[in-house]
């Protein structure tokens, strides 16, 4: 990562710190280190309001540079700050929503005379407005993601189960450079590379706040494919995370085994219509709840209110900010007053689950521009018939 | 999960709680919920010392059962406990090393007159001694892991890079039922399914406390393959996590492209000798540091002190407890006085990195029995020549 870019990101955080009278930040969680330091290390970035950031690192042991200090334990930080002539901050922020309790208490204890506050919401706010380099990285990620998705029909074989289909698509994603790891904000939401859902498994309620659930292969990892065979007349939705360079792109596409019911095609068109409508009204200044309400209104008018965003358990959002993590700010949800701002990046995912057919709908990654929003994940959005494709290739 | 098994696990935790005067536990982190409730939910298991556990769940919305209560937020828990006639605990434990700071403070705040303590070490201690059902699950996981590894030579193609080789092995693992997710205790150590290391990439220092590092594909996820071509005279070590049912088995095997240097084969034999020696002396009552020191002694005597467990950055352990997470108690490390106990399960991984050749060595999963230790991951431990295998199959 180039230094000017890191400086820009750090200054975005500093500017919010200044508004709250916070004189320094101690940053150590991986996504925030990638954001402010450009890579993952085992260590701490100390970010003062008015002087350059310092890195205190434990591993790897080959870090060099003027502002880098090897430490064995965080207790050495305060002494090193003193040696560098830095004042003890009056107010310091730690990653309170991310650091484990005992680690937070330990780090706060290094600054006994300092007011320590939770800096996670502030850093998430800074991260919600992407820099032009970040947008370019997400754009490239979207291109790789699309390239992998375009090959999906070629890996389908009759008789496959959802998990076998998923495994072949995971491989396509990895061959395109997907790093595999799926970063989620918060301790609880776990998922492997994403989900491939067919038939009524799409309505299986999830313990998580993902758009759709799925039973999964084992109670130890609920969500996604559950060995349902891909059968004639069923749809299958592919929704894998697009982490090609640290940034989580998000994209869903729907396939069919032969022909689906008329209702399923109609529902799919409703989702495309929602996407079309939202992309025409979304722009800086619009409240997220307006977008959510617009989507629900269209789905309801079309008669899909009870199948929109799930059946047994319905998600109360239609999109979510994305970046280094899959669930960033803003959230396009009920009662969410937050307004879109230029530079925000989000996934928009209107989806409908048709009982005994499966999921339909669409998901793309969008960036908010000065004038509106622009799609970063471009590939065929219609339902592709895998069986027809297979027969044609044979 | 069968109720008697869950009761057994809960009682193991209760018995340690009783020793410390802890009257109740509130458990919500995924690995601990799998342990005590049998699956992941979004919710809280309230575990009193002297009465049955209660589940307070938010999602999924289809949980039923006598002791299960739907909640919208954790603040409802105290009222529901009262309704159930349960006393406010004098001393309560929360998962202090796992819960984020703000969540811990919020949950502790529900019990203003209660002494709240960090229960993570206690739960980890309970989890370190596996039940016979857990051992059986790890045994089955080890069988699936071995079955996938036996097929590794069949996916090698001349000209592959390390990452291409890794992707094909990941697919083999998934087809055997691997859930994919790699659970690690602690917030910082991130890894996809494991690592495939060849040549000098094996000596690349990691930000994490894994046995070996590797540069990885991107600074956003250091570790593992870095697109090094698999070349004649180089070794390649496959070390993927074996999560087939929630339990993380661990196994490494080494392959070669053609013939390796004599030194590499000698080093590999030293690692097998270390494994042999340790498996002959390990039994309940032996201190972990003895096993570590024995390994270092053998490696040193053979002239590999500076290449044992890495070159540029050497890991200071030769094994680690495994279970629902890859890094459980005990740790077979320097100065670790903890003694082995019947029912512990650990990975033993003596490894040596040979400059300009790559990594050699072995890793298996072992269970501590009354008499010694038993291997749960059984497949060929010699270095397999991929090039020779490929030519033979052609």
- Confirm if B394 and B268 have CB atoms less than 8 A apart: no
Residue A61, pLDDT above cutoff 90: no
Residue A5, pLDDT above cutoff 90: yes
Alpha carbon distance A6, A18 (integer Å) = 18
Please give the biggest Cα pair distance in chain B.
Answer: 73
Would you kindly state where each structural domain of chain B is located, as residue ranges? Answer: 3-127, 129-393
pLDDT the model gives residue B188: 87
- Confirm if B359 and B212 have CB atoms less than 8 A apart: yes
The band of B347, judged by pLDDT with boundaries at 50, 70 and 90, is very high
DSSP 3-state of B331: strand
Percent of chain B with pLDDT over 70: 100
Q: Please give the CATH superfamily to which domain A3-127 belongs.
A: Creatinase/prolidase N-terminal domain (3.40.350.10)
Residue B370, pLDDT above cutoff 80: yes
- pLDDT tens for B20-36 read 999 999 999 999 999 99
pLDDT the model gives residue A394: 79
Gap from B298 CA to chain A (nearest CA, Å): 26
CA closest to B160 among chain A residues: A175
A314 interface with B at CB cutoff 8 Å: no
Chain A CB contacts of B194 below 8 Å: none
Gap from A187 CA to chain B (nearest CA, Å): 7
| Number of inter-chain CB pairs under 8 A, A vs B | 200
- Residues 170..189 of A with a Cβ closer than 8 Å to B: which? 170-171, 174-175, 177, 179-181, 183, 186-188
Chain A CB contacts of B99 below 8 Å: 100-101, 187
Q: Do A167 and B175 touch (CB under 8 A)?
A: yes
CATH architecture type of domain B129-393: Alpha-Beta Complex (3.90)
Q: Do A181 and B120 touch (CB under 8 A)?
A: no
CA closest to A29 among chain B residues: B188
Out of B59, B104, B218, whose CB is closest to A101? B104
Cα–Cα distances (Å) from A222 to A23, A188, A189, A210, A254, in that order, read: 42, 12, 10, 12, 21
Q: Do B39 and A177 touch (CB under 8 A)?
A: no
pLDDT the model gives residue B260: 98
- pLDDT tens for B289-321 read 999 999 999 999 999 999 999 998 999 999 999
Mutate to test the interface with B, among A33, A183, A205, A221 (most CBs of B within 10 A): A221
- Confirm if A43 and A57 have CB atoms less than 8 A apart: yes
Mean of all residue pLDDT scores within chain A: 97
Report, as an integer, the average pLDDT of B240-251: 97
Instruction: Answer whether A3-127 and A129-393 agree in fold.
Output: no
Residue A1, pLDDT above cutoff 80: no
Out of A40, A62, A245, whose CB is closest to B312? A62
Gap from B34 CA to chain A (nearest CA, Å): 6
Out of B43, B187, B220, whose CB is closest to A246? B220
pLDDT the model gives residue B65: 84
Percent of chain B with pLDDT over 90: 96
Mutate to test the interface with A, among B61, B188, B240 (most CBs of A within 10 A): B188
Q: Do A207 and B1 touch (CB under 8 A)?
A: no
The band of B245, judged by pLDDT with boundaries at 50, 70 and 90, is very high
Q: Which residues pair with A94 in a beta bridge?
A: A118
pLDDT the model gives residue A62: 86
Residue A38, pLDDT above cutoff 90: yes
Gap from A80 CA to chain B (nearest CA, Å): 21
The band of A112, judged by pLDDT with boundaries at 50, 70 and 90, is very high
- pLDDT tens for A334-346 read 999 999 999 999 9
Report, as an integer, the average pLDDT of A295-323: 96
DSSP result, A80-148: HHHHTTPPPPSEEEE-TTTSBHHHHHHHHTT-TTSEEEE-HHHHHHHHHS--HHHHHHHHHHHHHHHHH
Report, as an integer, the average pLDDT of B361-390: 98
CA closest to A160 among chain B residues: B175
pLDDT the model gives residue A254: 98
Q: Do A313 and B60 touch (CB under 8 A)?
A: yes
pLDDT the model gives residue B209: 87
Report, as an integer, the average pLDDT of A222-233: 97
Mean of all residue pLDDT scores within chain B: 97
Q: Do A40 and B120 touch (CB under 8 A)?
A: no
Report, as an integer, the average pLDDT of A166-179: 98
DSSP 3-state of B36: helix
Residue B1, pLDDT above cutoff 80: no
Residue B62, pLDDT above cutoff 90: no
Residue tagged 């991107």 (tokens): B218
Mutate to test the interface with B, among A27, A64, A101 (most CBs of B within 10 A): A101
Out of A171, A181, A213, whose CB is closest to B171? A171
Q: Which residues pair with A353 in a beta bridge?
A: A359
Q: Do A312 and B104 touch (CB under 8 A)?
A: no
pLDDT the model gives residue B61: 86
Q: Do A192 and B179 touch (CB under 8 A)?
A: yes
- Residues 34..93 of B with a Cβ closer than 8 Å to A: which? 34, 38-43, 59-62
Gap from B131 CA to chain A (nearest CA, Å): 17
- pLDDT tens for B2-22 read 899 999 999 999 999 999 999
CA dihedral A157, A162, A164, A166 (to 10 degrees): 100
- Of A99, A13, A84, nearest to A54 by C-alpha is A84
CA closest to A181 among chain B residues: B192
Q: Report the relative pairing of strands A42-48 and A54-59 from DSSP bridges.
A: antiparallel
A213 interface with B at CB cutoff 8 Å: yes
């Amino acid at each position: 990562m180039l230094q000017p870019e890191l400086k820009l990101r750090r200054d975005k955080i500093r500017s919010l710190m200044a508004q709250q009278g916070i004189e320094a930040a101690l940053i150590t969680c991986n996504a925030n280190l990638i954001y402010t330091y450009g890579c993952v290390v085992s260590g701490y970035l100390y970010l003062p309001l008015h002087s350059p950031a310092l890195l205190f690192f434990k591993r790897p042991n080959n870090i060099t540079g003027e502002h880098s200090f090897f430490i064995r334990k965080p207790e050495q930080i305060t002494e090193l700050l003193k040696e560098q002539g830095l004042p003890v901050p009056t107010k310091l922020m730690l990653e309170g929503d991310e650091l484990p309790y005992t680690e937070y208490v330990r780090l706060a204890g290094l600054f006994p005379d300092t007011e320590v506050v939770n800096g996670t919401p502030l850093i998430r706010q800074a991260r919600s407005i992407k820099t032009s380099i970040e947008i370019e990285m997400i754009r490239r990620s979207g291109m790789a993601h699309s390239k992998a998705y375009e090959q999906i029909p070629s890996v389908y074989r009759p008789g496959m189960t959802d998990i076998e289909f998923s495994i072949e698509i995971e491989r396509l994603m990895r061959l395109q450079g997907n790093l595999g790891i799926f970063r989620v904000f918060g301790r609880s939401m776990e998922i492997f590379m994403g989900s491939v859902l067919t038939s009524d498994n799409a309505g299986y309620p999830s313990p998580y706040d993902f758009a759709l659930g799925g039973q999964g292969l084992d109670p130890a990892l609920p969500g996604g494919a559950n060995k349902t065979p891909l059968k004639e007349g069923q749809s299958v939705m592919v929704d894998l995370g697009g982490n090609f360079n640290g940034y989580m792109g998000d994209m869903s596409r729907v396939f069919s085994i032969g022909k689906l019911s008329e209702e399923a095609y109609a529902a799919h068109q409703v989702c495309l219509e929602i996407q079309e409508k939202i992309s025409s009204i979304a722009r800086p200044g619009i409240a997220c709840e307006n977008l959510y309400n617009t989507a629900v209104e269209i789905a309801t008018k079309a008669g899909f209110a009870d199948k929109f965003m799930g059946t047994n358990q319905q998600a109360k959002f239609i999109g979510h900010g994305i970046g280094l993590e899959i669930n960033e700010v803003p959230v396009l949800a009920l009662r969410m007053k937050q307004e879109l701002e230029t530079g925000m990046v989000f996934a928009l995912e209107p989806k409908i689950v048709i009982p005994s057919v499966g999921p339909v709908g669409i998901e793309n990654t969008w960036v908010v521009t000065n004038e509106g929003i622009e799609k970063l994940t471009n590939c065929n959005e219609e339902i592709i018939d895998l069986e027809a494709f297979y027969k044609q290739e044979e």
